[in-house]
Amino acid sequence: MVRRFIAYIGLVFFASLYSTAQTPEFYLGFDQILDNREYFTPYAKHQTIFGARINAGASFSLDSVHSVHAGINYMYEFGGELLGVEPQIDLYYRYKTENLQIYFGSFPRRDLMNYPLFLLTDSLDYYRPNIEGASIRYSWDWGTVHGWVDWTGRASEDTRESILAGIDATFRAGLFYFSPTLTRYHLARSEAADDHNHIRDDGAIMLLAGIDLSDRIPLDLFNFASGLATTYERTMPSDYLLFNGWFSQLDMKRSIFGIKGIYYLGDSSPLLYGEPLYSSGNYGRLDFFVDPFKNPRISSKFGWNLHFLPGEGILHSQQILIHISL
């Protein structure tokens, strides 16, 4: 009876959407993922991530600003089980005007945020590409402010409650810009009677100042930013621990060729969702890549990445990332 009732409610819901909305628009996204990490270091795991992801569904536009989206976001990791990577559901409401964008539900983060790997590692996009919560962005002529919350774990006897959230902004003045970013991760207890885990929090405050010369020099992209990166960690009932460092990033691209460089110097980073190589406290990375497909629906990275850790030489990783949006 319960299953029949749920099915009936679902049919009524989609029938009402279809009757009130315009003709549904179908979408299909495909990702080819190959990330071969030859790290051989205690700071990060040596592994090869190889798989394909499909993101398919339909959107129903109620008018020019309101829409509802439903679909599936599923990754098959080569050599693994069919459901070895838990699929995520696309199920969200979007409100979009020229200045304001609001998302509620489970939705892809790909086009909504581009945080440094210091804050959010790229494997998060591989295995959990959807935000399950909310995202609000407001933009104007010289700036933008964005806030989001991602419910990463619902409390149960087997799962600890956890929430990942952030606020980022960009304020521009000609060629220059200032970009503050704040993140916070909260990991509470489960509902198990014998759970003696301590509540843990970590987060970051990153204050970057940069210059964008993409329109002033003969390159398609030239962007440099540098600034303070402060992180914190607290395992209750202990006090907060603060960690400070300096983060710099350079992005250059001409035609199909690109270079991305980063350098971090400071205290070891405790961020559980950050790239673990930053926990070394002295880390540099240089990516050489090409994006050969001159098609607005295809973006790619065929890259060879060098990782610099003092005392451990030069580490390597290779990436082939292809995203197709139809």
Beta strands in the chain (DSSP E): 25-38, 47-61, 66-77, 88-96, 100-108, 130-140, 143-153, 162-173, 176-187, 200-212, 221-235, 241-254, 257-266, 282-290, 298-308, 314-325
Report CA torsion sign: 44, 112, 265, 315. Answer: positive
Averaged pLDDT of the chain: 91
Task: Please compute, for residue 93, the number of CA atoms within 13 A of its CA located in the half-sphere on the CB side.
Answer: 6
Distance between CA atoms of 96 and 67, rounded to whole angstroms? Answer: 9
Distance between CA atoms of 77 and 49, rounded to whole angstroms? Answer: 8
**9 pLDDT tier (thresholds 50, 70, 90):** very low
Calculate what percentage of the chain has a pLDDT beyond 70: 93
Residue 119's pLDDT is what? 97
Q: What is the DSSP string of 148-170?
A: EEEEEE---SS---EEEEEEEEE
**158 pLDDT tier (thresholds 50, 70, 90):** confident
**pLDDT above 50 for 12:** no
Residue ranges and CATH numbers for the domains of the chain are: 38-325 (2.40.160)
Residue 247's pLDDT is what? 98
Amino acid identity for residue 256 in this structure: I
Task: Assess contact for 267 and 282: CB atoms under 8 A.
Answer: no
Backbone angles phi, psi at 127, to 5 degrees: -100, -20
Query: Which SS3 state, helix, strand or coil, does residue 291 take?
Result: coil
Residue 45's pLDDT is what? 86
Query: Which SS3 state, helix, strand or coil, does residue 16 take?
Result: helix
How large is the average pLDDT for residues 294-313? Answer: 92
pLDDT in tens, 239-296: 999 999 999 999 999 999 999 999 999 999 999 999 999 999 999 999 999 999 988 8
Residue 294's pLDDT is what? 83
Residue 22's pLDDT is what? 65
pLDDT in tens, 46-102: 899 999 999 999 999 998 899 999 999 999 999 999 999 999 999 999 999 999 999
How large is the average pLDDT for residues 7-27? Answer: 60
Calculate what percentage of the chain has a pLDDT beyond 90: 78
Looking at 126-130, 272-276, 310-314, which range is the least confident one? 310-314
Distance between CA atoms of 132 and 141, rounded to whole angstroms? Answer: 29
Task: Assess contact for 273 and 120: CB atoms under 8 A.
Answer: yes
